[in-house]
Amino acid sequence: MSKRGGCLCGAVTYRVTGPLRPVVACHCVQCRKSSGHHVAATSCGRADIDISGEVTWYQSSDTARRGFCGRCGSNLFWDGAGANLSIFAGTLDGDTGLALIGHIFCADKGDYYEIADDLPKADGSDPDLTTMVKAP
């Protein structure tokens, strides 16, 4: 089963043909600055996504870049080292069947909100939350 998504104006679309990781909320400063709040992202294997349209990439650190639509500004992707590409969950079309499983970089969260759920929380990165789990 494939999932589709894209930006607000439709200039960039994508199709994911493989599994999606559950959603993780990232509260790091870069995610907050680029989105206006925290980011909720899933991910997929790089070979499992087909992107159409022109993604504008911003090198946000020495180890990662962020992909967005140059026309409407929609944040779409976070691309770091590894086999997966992170996808901003809100850009998926329709029902996703995904669930939020935890929070990372909680030490960097904004002072104007609380994380009020009982999901796992990490002060920084947490590979247990963000690594794609392969089906048996």
DSSP 3-state of 65: strand
Q: How many CB atoms lie within 10 A of CB 130?
A: 20
Could you read off the pLDDT of 35-87 as tens digits, one per residue? 999 999 999 999 999 999 999 999 999 999 999 999 999 999 999 988 899 99
Dihedral angle over CA of 68, 73, 76, 82, nearest 10: 30
pLDDT attached to residue 82: 87
| pLDDT exceeds 60 at position 113 | yes
Residues shown for the chain: 136
Give the residue from 18, 134, 24 showing the smallest Cα distance to 78: 24
Domains of the chain: 12-125 (3.90.1590.10)
